[in-house]
Amino acid sequence: MDGEPELALQPPPAPKPRASAQGFGWEEVSREVVEFFASIKLAMFLFLILAVTATIGTVIQQNERPETYIKEYGEQAYRWFTRLGLTDVYHTWWFTSLLGLLCVNSLTCFYKRFPAVWRSMQQDKVNVSLSFIKNMKHSAEISAAGTKEYIGERLVRFLAEKGYRVLAKNEASGVSLYATKGIMGRVGAHMAHLSATVIVLGGLIGSLWGFQDFGVCMEGQTYHIPRGNFDLHVDKFWIDYYENGAVKSYNSTLTVIDQGSPALTKTITVNDPLVYKNIWFYQSSYGDAWDRIEVARLNIKDKETDKVLATVDLEWQKEKVIENLGLKLTATDFVADFAFNSSEKKVYSKTVEHANPALRLALNERGTLEATPWVFYHYPDLFEIQGSKYSFELVGYQPKKFTGLQITRDPGVNIVWIGSTMIVVGITLSSFIYHRRLWAKIVPQHDGVILHIGGNTHKNQIDFQREFKRLIQHVETKSA
């Protein structure tokens, strides 16, 4: 086991019995498999390969449209991207498998190593050989005056004061002593090992049974939420600004309507969602609607002279009467990016951008002429209204804002939080508490005793060294 850690919890390190050459039974295979999956080398490999592959998705834009990739990288590259899944790295089979392997790896590690930690919490070897003590990383040999019982007691008291758990055995040949502290550090590490699987499990549950939708919603409308079997009414949407004009927050007041009656009203904002029946509604974005406006400003001109006769503000779908011109006007339709479907004879908005805005009017002139012309923001003189004395110019409009709601249910999220707590608590324990063990033998001589003491820790050697030095000094000064 070259390169494997010096983690033996059971002193002295027992030589491993080698499997006999002919024996290649189930036991050997399963031992090899456990050995492989519990190996730290595999863990290091997985950590690093995950780190490397995770960078891909931060360099190549993820989940874009094919044209975007082809434009940036060329067609050949794009074909490779789709083959390897580089346009959605984090959901490819191989990335998921790496995560799965990490779980198997850490679980196997737990299975193989935790029992030893557990046993050492219950009991440990008190009696070890002298050479074991002498060969420890930190060891010392001190002659002292006094009986072995006296020195032993001193040592036990000192270590117990320092928070060590001490076991001692008094025999004719000498006192054996074992002291340990900080096993929780090791328990913490294993807690971290279990947590990886818990988190991945939570993520899996979320992706299997959760959903994530996005809704573009208008003030005053009611929307059915099929997966929750209730309705959502958008009471209000507004934006708050800082003094300097920057957006401070955007907010929607929402009312949940369950079986016909209002069940819950809440104003949501970024960072403060509404939760109903485990479905979360987030204030995710806002924008200009592409199919309706608040108000439009029109110039009414004389067709002959092109003189502006009046400027009116039309509210959305509200009839406006202009007495002196004998006009009744209503803004009935709006598209942000005008397009015409000739087979269905329908006007629609090509995109959500306000690239070619057009407003449709319902016009009644002196009770005789009725028309429904489209008026274009960018092309004021495109169409002429037959028989009318006037022409209309759309000089501006205020778009209606929509509120962008993210609608999410994630049944795995609490499991993820449990795993997260485990990982943070586990890693913190293992970082700040370190496991140390001391063994001592106090051997009587003709004029006092010789104290052999040795200790080790799996990390934090410098602090342990200081502690060990202080311990030795304590014994020396007391016995001097």
Partner 1 sequence: MLKSLFLFDMTFWLYLAALALYIAYLFVRRPVMQFAPAGHPVEAYDDRDEGWAGQLGQVATLVTVFGWIVNSGALFMRAYERMQLSGTFAPWSNQFEAMAYVSWAIILGYVLLEMRYRIKAIGAFVVGIGFIAMGAASLLPYRYQTAEPLVPALNSYWIYIHVSVTLTSYAAFAMAGGLGLMYLFKERAERKGKSGGIAAAFPDLETIDELGYKAIMIGFPLLAFGIILGAMWANYAWGGYWSWDPKETWSLIVWLIYGAYIHARMTRGWEGRRAAIYAIFGFLMVIFCFWGVNFLLSGLHAYA
- Residues in touch with partner 1 (CB under 8 A): 2-7, 40-41, 43-44, 47-48, 50-51, 54-55, 57-59, 61-62, 90, 203, 212, 242, 244, 246-250, 269-273, 280, 282, 284, 406, 408, 410, 413, 416-417, 420, 423-424, 427-428, 431-432, 458-462, 465
- Part in contact with ligand HEM (CB under 6 A); list of ranges 163-171, 173-181, 189-197, 239-247: 189-197
Contacts (Cβ under 8 Å, ≥6 apart) of 444 = 147, 148, 174
Look at residues 5, 9, 200, 184 and name the one whose alpha carbon lies nearest to residue 106. 200
Q: What is the DSSP letter of 69?
A: H
Contacts (Cβ under 8 Å, ≥6 apart) of 441 = 130, 133, 174, 175, 176, 177, 451, 452, 453
The only residue of 459, 466, 469, 470 in contact with ligand HEM, by rule CB under 6 A:
459
Tokens of 51: 């780190």
416 binds, among ligand HEM, partner 1, none (CB under 5 to 8 A by kind): partner 1
Specify burial of residue 17 (Cβ count, 10 A radius: 0-12, 13-18, 19+): exposed
- Is 186 one of the binding residues for ligand HEM (CB under 6 A)? yes
105 binds, among partner 1, ligand HEM, none (CB under 5 to 8 A by kind): ligand HEM
- Is 193 one of the binding residues for ligand HEM (CB under 6 A)? yes
The only residue of 99, 196, 279, 331 in contact with ligand HEM, by rule CB under 6 A:
196
Q: What is the 3-state secondary structure (H, E, C) of 311-352?
A: EEEEEECCCEEEHHHCEEEEEEEEECEEEEECCCCEEEECCC
- Is 102 one of the binding residues for ligand HEM (CB under 6 A)? yes
CB of 251 or CB of 456, closer to ligand HEM: 456
186 binds, among partner 1, ligand HEM, none (CB under 5 to 8 A by kind): ligand HEM
Tokens of 465: 């060294």
Closest approach of Cβ 11 to ligand HEM, in Å?
15
CB of 68 or CB of 173, closer to partner 1: 68
Four-residue CA torsion sign, 421, 427, 428, 429: positive
Look at residues 203, 194, 198, 3 and name the one whose alpha carbon lies nearest to residue 96. 203
Closest approach of Cβ 477 to ligand HEM, in Å?
33
Closest approach of Cβ 181 to partner 1, in Å?
17
Tokens of 273: 């969602």
Per-residue CA distances from 304 to 46, 208, 310, 381, 384 (Å) = 79, 67, 15, 13, 12
Specify burial of residue 433 (Cβ count, 10 A radius: 0-12, 13-18, 19+): middle
- Is 181 one of the binding residues for ligand HEM (CB under 6 A)? no
CB of 7 or CB of 308, closer to ligand HEM: 7
- Is 422 one of the binding residues for ligand HEM (CB under 6 A)? no
Taking the mean position of all CA atoms in its chain, how far away is CA 121? 35
3-state secondary structure of 172: coil
From residue 22 to residue 41, the character string flagging contacts with ligand HEM as x (rule: CB under 6 A) and all else as - is: ----------------xxx-
The only residue of 427, 433, 443, 450 in contact with ligand HEM, by rule CB under 6 A:
427
CB of 46 or CB of 407, closer to ligand HEM: 46
The H helix count followed by the E strand count for the chain is 10, 21
Write out the residues near ligand HEM by the rule CB under 6 A: 7, 38-40, 43, 102, 105-106, 109, 113, 117, 186, 189, 192-193, 196, 423, 427, 430, 458-459
